[in-house]
Structure 1
């Protein structure tokens, strides 16, 4: 599978609808007319189905209906960025969620359809593999990739919506599934994830020809993320064991220079555990074809408008002014912290068209550069080749440090893991670390990567943590955020269109 460019997503595998549980989007139409049981009996066709299951990873930034890039979605609910845009009504759902006043008409509605489509495709792959076609080793790999992707898709729905419909086999009319609670979703997913890990089918790291596939190490990171977000102390020792397995694997290490980590050369480096891949070469994505293979619109979303040129970004490009960085986020970095000038694109010396909440400091990790969309044959602002980093080895180290402290393990070992991250950043070592130290290091290391909001929420259940949502996600002195986060805000509202389509669904108490 070519995972840098999904050149030939198998268009006939599934008819996609953005409504998850009420339409015929679960029906399969055979592209050749022959029975499905015959078509999916070869490695080639099973590989096509597996490739199709990866496709929805690319959709949220713009799926033809809404801009819901997962990094924007998470960061606008945190404390490091403003929403921005042309005005408070531009992508109003982000502004409403930023102020913790979302509703069924102002929520991340399209994520539902994107990721239930992904779940449907994964279920198809699993079914096709059960028919016994193709090479057994390859077939087993396709099945495990689909099962792991399915957990990942549910994990995103679980993080954002909490209480969602759950099924492991595709539905028949009337295409509805029982909506279960967030705790029940977790209780269903963790045994499935544990079984995938125990199978040991997937490699710790794929070779270069297969970059972008989910791996055993990715499963370990997903496990730790879910267990830590759930504050599931009983599973902390297992999660720690998985982190140490990655640490002990020679395939993974910190990229020596943080400056290079988010460049094109830094993609799929030794630090990369899982990335969503994008490319501008031969991009098919355009305004009329948002789900086709190609690049990402995220650098366009989170950059200044009316740019006259400079900083490696030519004047022929343009940004839409979302996600300006708060000055407080820039100032949290020490002057000698090498992460600051990578994370924060400081253009306070430049003149351009200022938009709402503009600070002249922008998202540096995914900032636009002309070299990153120069080969695009379609609309360049939709097709930057910046891969989306999901799990990095730095997070493995900080997860291990936190889990050691949570389980009464070696504080010296935990400190060593944190100091590895700090050393690369050019900072002095700490003599010992606390939970707050780890959370603070996560804040500095992963700023702008969509993790901060969820760290603050899960910290509500961590004894001794002062970096909590109720303390950090509060009204600001600028008058932009006027509400305070509360426990009822953990799960965002379900879309009104989904409630209308399935009367059995119950809205979250937001």
Structure 2
């Protein structure tokens, strides 16, 4: 059952600012100050809903910033694409490792801090409200995990960022933390949320999209592995085993079906970001309105003539090497990538090639025909494709990796075998390199490859200009953190130091 936990977003005004700005004004028929608004359980719940809202904005908030896409175009499986090299400079420069403080996906920064601010309000206001204590504890735990999710995004892209647990007052400036300090602060917040022991392992039917214990465990393990924090490997492994032993999640046999509308929130889904097409009112003037996603059109097949897919804009073409890396019988190849020559021969479909075209498209997310059914505003902004953030397949591979890296006991081989058996390919030994390569195969186009290369120390040898069809610059450790947006440097009154890039 598809359910979106964002229905109350219209209660809130456009509180879309970074750490340097004021944040939230709640409005009704008149105006109510934030300090007077949070007086009941219902209003705290409204604030929690508002903290979820920015999850939807990453795909488009006056910039095309889909987290999957922006991450993948910095790796080796997916090119930037679009109409030409001058189309969407922030994406092209991220792709080429030539980002600048004025040409960087700065709306990711803005959106993430909007989510942090909204989460902080729930955490701060909850103690003042007389309500059921168990429900209050649940809302606070959800807000803490949401805040951690938003900080995780900022930490991975920018590293050295302003960090605060209480929203700022005028002049809205705080000190910059170094990346290692940010990690310690965020992981501690996550541990606090989990220690409350109030989050369910899986969301109830009708509440899919809310924070769960399994989601928080996955976020925790993602951060611990990215930081290579061996002191927390044991705890992360226990968390993965708890998800596995709960029997509430499982792999599905039809890999291709995961990415269809009827595959959303299936047995394999640990957490998704919800988008809806029915009644979708998102439009170019109001990208924060409730509705769908533009990502399926953005990466869709340009000039498509046929019956299966929508006409798209040709961003994120899949490299031929990504298609050919799979074994011939691996169901993830044609279950996740569209080989257009094969599609054309079977259906007579055609398309118009654009910049960096390869003839391969990301089947996982390209727009299906009528994928925006029921929209009421802009058709391109209201495709109902959920973003699959965490799948049970990653739980298994996380567990296998942690065991191989000495986190504790367990059968890494069995976990790896489950993944490869579903893919219909022979087993391989559960070595660290094989597990990392399995992640490459399993999560192609899901925004994970780049971060795996960085955390494993492989980025500098893999992401070289001589191995890429278009790049002239290679990745270096200095490219790990993007330049901080110049607008933030300008507002910081000297408290922000620019990242070298």
Q: Same fold (TM over 0.5)?
A: yes
Residue correspondence of structure 1 range 346-365 to structure 2 within 5 A: 346-348=339-341, 349=344, 350-365=349-364
Query: CA shift at 1:38, angstroms?
Result: 5.3
Query: CA shift at 1:105, angstroms?
Result: 1.4
Unaligned runs of at least 5 residues, structure 1: 461-467
Q: Which residue of 1 aligns with 2:47?
A: 49
Residue correspondence of structure 1 range 290-439 to structure 2 within 5 A: 290-310=287-307, 312-313=308-309, 317-348=310-341, 349=344, 350-407=349-406, 409=408, 413-430=411-428, 432-439=429-436
User: What CA deviation, in whole Å up to 9, does each residue of 1:359-400 have, x standing for no partner?
Assistant: 111011012112321221222211111110111110000000
Residue correspondence of structure 1 range 155-166 to structure 2 within 5 A: 155-166=152-163
Q: Which residue of 2 aligns with 1:8?
A: 8
Structure 1 pair 196–17 and aligned structure 2 pair: CA distance change class (3 A): closer
CA contact (8 A) 1:6 1:294 kept: no
Query: CA shift at 1:33, angstroms?
Result: 4.3
Give the distance between the partners of 2:209 and 2:242, measured in 1 at CA. Answer: 20
Structure 1 pair 295–309 and aligned structure 2 pair: CA distance change class (3 A): same
TM-score, normalised with respect to structure 2: 0.95
Query: CA shift at 1:137, angstroms?
Result: 2.1
Give the distance between the partners of 1:439 and 1:181, measured in 2 at CA. Answer: 28
Give the distance between the partners of 1:215 and 1:477, measured in 2 at CA. Answer: 40
Give the distance between the partners of 2:240 and 2:5, measured in 1 at CA. Answer: 30
- Give the aligned CA root-mean-square deviation in angstroms: 1.7
Query: CA shift at 1:180, angstroms?
Result: 0.6
SS at match of 2:388: strand
User: What CA deviation, in whole Å up to 9, does each residue of 1:261-313 have, x standing for no partner?
Assistant: 11112111111111000010011101221110100011001112111123x22
Give the distance between the partners of 1:82 and 1:51, measured in 2 at CA. Answer: 35
Query: CA shift at 1:478, angstroms?
Result: 6.1
CA contact (8 A) 1:37 1:131 kept: no
SS at match of 1:201: coil
Residue correspondence of structure 1 range 99-248 to structure 2 within 5 A: 99-248=96-245
TM-score, normalised with respect to structure 1: 0.93
Query: CA shift at 1:7, angstroms?
Result: 2.8
Give the distance between the partners of 1:386 and 1:209, measured in 2 at CA. Answer: 17
Give the distance between the partners of 2:32 and 2:159, measured in 1 at CA. Answer: 40
Aligned length in residues? 492
Structure 1 pair 408–230 and aligned structure 2 pair: CA distance change class (3 A): closer
Residue 485 of structure 1, aligned match among 462, 467, 475? 475
SS at match of 1:214: coil
CA contact (8 A) 1:40 1:133 kept: no
Give the distance between the partners of 1:304 and 1:15, measured in 2 at CA. Answer: 33
Q: Which residue of 2 aligns with 1:465?
A: none
Q: Which residue of 2 aligns with 1:70?
A: 67
SS at match of 1:288: coil
Give the distance between the partners of 2:443 and 2:360, measured in 1 at CA. Answer: 17
User: What CA deviation, in whole Å up to 9, does each residue of 1:169-226 have, x standing for no partner?
Assistant: 0110000111111001011111211111111111111111211001111111111000
Unaligned runs of at least 5 residues, structure 2: none
Query: CA shift at 1:346, angstroms?
Result: 1.3
Give the distance between the partners of 1:493 and 1:34, measured in 2 at CA. Answer: 38
